[in-house]
Amino acid sequence: MLYGPPQFVALPFKVVLCLNKMAVAANPAGTNLSFETDFKDHLDTRELIFDDLRAHQCSDSVLLKLSKKLGNWDTAGLYLKIVADEIKAIKVDNSSEESRRVALLNKWKQKNGDDATYYNLISGLCDADRIDIADQALDCLMKNMIEIKKEQEKARQEQEEREKEERRQQEIQLEYEMKENFLTRMKSKLRLKCLDVPDLQMYLGQEDVNEVAVHISKDWYKFGKIMKVEEGILDHIKEVGKDKLERKRKLLEHLISKEVRFEDIIYGLYDSANEHDPFINGILDYLFRIRIKQPEESPDGQNPKTNKKWSTSSKLEEKQGRSYKKQYPISRPHDQSSAPYLTVFIPVPWQAKFDVRRKKQPTSSQLIPQSHLNDLTPDNYREHFYSALWLEEDEHIKKLSRKCDGVDYKLTIYDPKKVPPFLTQNSFHKYRYGYISGLSDDKIEYATQASDNVTISQPDSSTRLCIAFKHHYNFNHLENRMYIVADHPSNSLFEAIKNGTEVKDGSEIRISAEFTVKYSYFDHLHHAVVKASEHVLKCLLPDVFSFVDPFLRFQPQHSDFRYMKLDKKHQLEALEMIAFESPSIGKPPPPVILYGPFGTGKTRILARAAYEVMMNGVNKNKCTRILISAHHEISITTFITAYFGVIEKKIRPLPFKVILITKQKNYGVYADMYMTPDEFSKKSADISTMPHVIIIATYTTSLKLHQYLCSPEGFFTHLFLDEAAQVREPEAITPLALATKDAKIVLAGDTQQVGPNILVLGEEAKKFGLNVSLLQRLLGKYEEIGSGATRYVTKLSVNYRSHNSLIELPNLFYENLEINPDKEFQKCSGPTGYRFVSANSRLVEHYDDPDQQGVEARIVLEQVRKYLDKMKQINPKFNPRHDVCIITSTRKQLNRIRSMAFDYDKYETVRKVSFKPSFMIQGHEFQAIFLSLFELVGDDEMNASYIKSLFNPYVFNTVITRAKFHVVAIGSPEEVKQFELDTLSHPDRGGNTTKCWHEYLKLCEKQRTISNERKSAEKPMRSVSNNVHIDESSKKDAVPEAETKVQCKLENVLQDGDRSQKSDIHVDLIRPEEPIATVASRQLSSMSSIDGQLKEIETKQMELLREENALLREKIKSLEEELEKEKRKNYKNKDNKK
């Protein structure tokens, strides 16, 4: 191809254009040296660099703005490499000049794809001599970069705030666990002093200062630091105090202002190395004297000092009680006496004391087989569940010991000055931080979740070094370390550290470790069984005579709110069953049961029923107290955020009180409805006299209410138990300890999701029915009794949560699941349905290779990023945190994905989504969920973690039903199928043999929603041949070498050669069934034709370059001649002027 004579009038510009071509040829990356030289000043004035132009693509809005001043658009198009035929087509397809200008720039963006950058646009505009528009584009880029920097700075600040809050919460939780351990170890000491834990909850008062000051240790300054008193205050106390005793008094007076309890004082003095500390014993003796009101007897036998202390509190509470009674004259249920004004400290039964019950192993005669649970009676109920719980706890102890205990671990203790900041060490503390090495990922995760603490000893277990706590950072890191905090380390530990091996940040020693099971959970369950009253047991063990015809129904009329609207098919029927009253006062009616699949409105029915019942009680001036409980904290908060909190904004003030008890203080818009347990305890005297109150708490928290609201006749007239199918029966009955004798009890749940059917450990416990939930047991009992009982059961079937495209797979678990009839809900502009993305990788030899975790993590992030980009275009207000969730079976894989999201800037948007492990997903809802199917497939690990595996059918059902519109799973299809087949008989499947993932993949194949994202995650070797694919087994053969050479040549050709040549070369995958020799021979034989094509293209390229160089030399020569003439002419003019 030869160039003709110059077609441009401006010869110097043509020369510049030729030089540009030459520069591009010399710079294959696309650098235009002439453009950069001439245009640099324009960037300098705006404080931009050329890398900014290369890094940003032109948006549609910017192109639209630039098109308005793009005159002579067809000529400019030639410089933007739009060919004549394309320009002609734009003229034909668009009638106006304005639309043609827009179409031209859109065509440029379409042709360039990822290369549609400001750099390429502005350089083309400069070639077209449109500097004005190039400057306008620079201004747009500058504004865009300013906005991006603002957003990045805002995101950085938000991230810092989140991390700061997380560290604060971790420190709070750590402190809480330390105190729990302290109290556990102090119980024996308290019992010897005839005291109990509640005795330590008294606040330090001014009248206590003189007595307590005597028992503060000699180093009062150190004690003050432990109590977190600022050094400035301590120094001031040191200056003004005449002696140590006076300084101690002033320190205690300062602590009074901080509302310090005796528990805090003793905790500050406590030293595990000295079990018989005289200072602590002195304070305990003082507390005992206060309790029995005998510190010093006066001549008339009275104790004026102590009586004054207690009477003041009593008078205050009595005064508060009278004021509330005046406001609400009817304040008691039927036959209920006045609620106590002071907290009742109820003794803990021996069954709820771990050390005691471990010595009382049950006999088989106390147990009833699962098949005969209907034979339970009020006489054998407690013995049966004591035995079943004991057996399961024993299995937990054995499993934890078998899985995690060891004698060949290493403990690294950090130097106090080198403790990493993520461990949130207090600047002055008696804790030592470190980590245990030698545990696998799965063991670390299990020990963190299932244990309370770990006893660390010498390798031969001869000397105990310390008791250490798991650190919350174990939930968030990727290292094979279990981070611990040593509480009150002994001298033996310090000696071992001194003699240990010096490492980078501290000292390393060899140890043995013995983990202690988290027995507090079983303490609660045993306590609940013992506290179950006789009338509650009769309610839970109904017979044919328990069921009577309901009466006094009231028509629902109080809640016309849209968010409480119920359907007439089943939901209103369920509401009426809850609202009816029993004709027998003082006799508990059997529980009403609501059960059905996800999204059928169980929570909404309970909220509506609570509101209707409460308003009916208010209107009739009848005492109505409702307790709503659920298993998960996220579930109880729904009652506030979706129902009662919203109602309060519309009806102010509410004619009744709503209280949600939660661990952490709430500062949100509904903060006035939240209370921490401490706040509740302080206000319990008032709450106990309220005639109209709704209290919302988790099952575990509800047991703690007993000591504040306990009375012989009970407290709550109605008890609504959500998620009742997800917990063991002893946990479900925990809230019932405060039920009145004629209380209405309602159970709601889904029997096909994660529950005791898979959570209960040990064949013995399952044999005797602990894996059967209360809801499931009563369903069987009602069915046995007949139609009189089944009227108390409502089965829900219409799904209101999920899009119709997500209903087919849940139908594997439910019969006749009906779709949402709301047509507007079904109109979704974003992605819907199920999708599977293959995570196969040739870079990983085996799927269980650790590298596969990273591959799969990268694919997950890519999928989420694409989804977020798409949703942001559809809905700019889309909220990633609330609408999208990444879910994995293991925390380590979840941490890897999260860590990678923060390591790569391209995943900045992904950082805002929710990250949840599979076992913490219940109770949540999202628009879309993304599942990483990477599993630990080793036998030991799988046997231990299958309860939370996404391959467990109950976990599968629970997880996929969290999505409203879209589910994406990422994994290896063949590995997924094989792994599911291998585990069909796993005991933790609860006998369910549904092939969930086989059905998932079959559905995706049918809908053509299986995709292979291998190229986006990594760059595998490709082959150049007639439709061939490199098989995994061919890696060790000669094919990859030949393939790599061809690939390199091909890439060079496609970069520098004529793009039309691509159609002659086929790139595809190797058929895996072909023999290696056949593949290799065909690969090598094809190389001769490929080489011929390469040589032909290279020859053409060289000819073109030689022609262009010849033209350039001619033009440069002519230009130099013209410049020389101009110089001579200028010199001649100057001479003439002179």
User: Is residue 288 within 8 Å of 194, Cβ to Cβ?
Assistant: yes
pTM of the model: 0.64
Sheet containing 674-675: order of strands = 674-675, 657-661, 692-698, 624-630, 716-721, 739-749, 592-595, 793-795
Q: How many CB atoms lie within 10 A of CB 832?
A: 20
Cβ of 1102: how many Cβ atoms within 10 Å?
A: 10
Residues in the chain: 1138
Contact 722, 628 (CB under 8 A): yes
How many angstroms separate the CA atoms of 1100 and 1106, rounded? Answer: 10
Output the pLDDT for position 691.
95
Residue that is written with structure tokens 């009652």 in the block:
639
CA dist 521 → 452, 729, 730, 820 (Å)? 10, 14, 11, 39
**Which tokens is 18 given?**
């030729």
Tokens standing for residue 1078: 């056949």
Mean pLDDT by 10 residues, the chain (1138 residues): 42 45 46 79 86 87 86 85 88 88 89 88 87 88 87 86 82 71 70 72 82 86 88 91 90 86 80 65 84 44 38 36 38 41 63 92 83 88 94 93 92 89 66 89 85 91 87 77 85 89 91 93 92 91 84 62 81 85 70 92 93 91 95 92 90 92 87 92 91 95 86 90 94 93 93 88 89 94 90 90 91 84 76 91 61 82 92 90 93 88 88 92 93 69 71 93 95 89 85 92 94 48 34 37 39 41 38 44 50 62 71 74 71 59
**CA-based end-to-end distance of the chain:** 53
Please state at what angle helix 381-404 crosses helix 520-531, rounded to 10 degrees.
180
Please give the Cα distance from 228 to 225 (Å, whole number).
5
Residues whose CB falls within 8 Å of the CB of residue 480, separated by 6 or more in sequence, listed in order: 437, 439, 440, 441, 444
Q: Which of 730, 773, 734, 770 is nearest to 753 (CA)?
A: 773
| Long-range CB contacts for residues 1037-1040, cutoff 8 Å, separation at least 24 | 1037/1076, 1037/1080, 1038/1080, 1039/1076, 1039/1079, 1039/1080, 1039/1083
C-beta separation of 1105 from 25 below 8 A: yes
| 621 phi/psi in degrees, rounded to 5 | 55, 45
Cβ atoms within 10 Å of 627's Cβ, excluding its own: 26
d(CA 1096, CA 1103): 11
Rounded CA separation 68/77 (Å): 15
Q: What are phi and psi of 1030, to 5 degrees?
A: -70, 120
How many Å apart are CA 67 and CA 73, to the nearest integer?
9
pLDDT of 936 reads 60
Residues in contact with 806: Cβ distance below 8 Å, sequence separation at least 6, in sequence order: 832, 833, 834, 960, 961, 963, 964, 965, 966, 967
Count H helices and E strands in the chain, helices first: 45, 23
The residue with tokens 């003709």 is: 4
57 bridge partner residues = 117
Supply the pLDDT for residue 321: 37
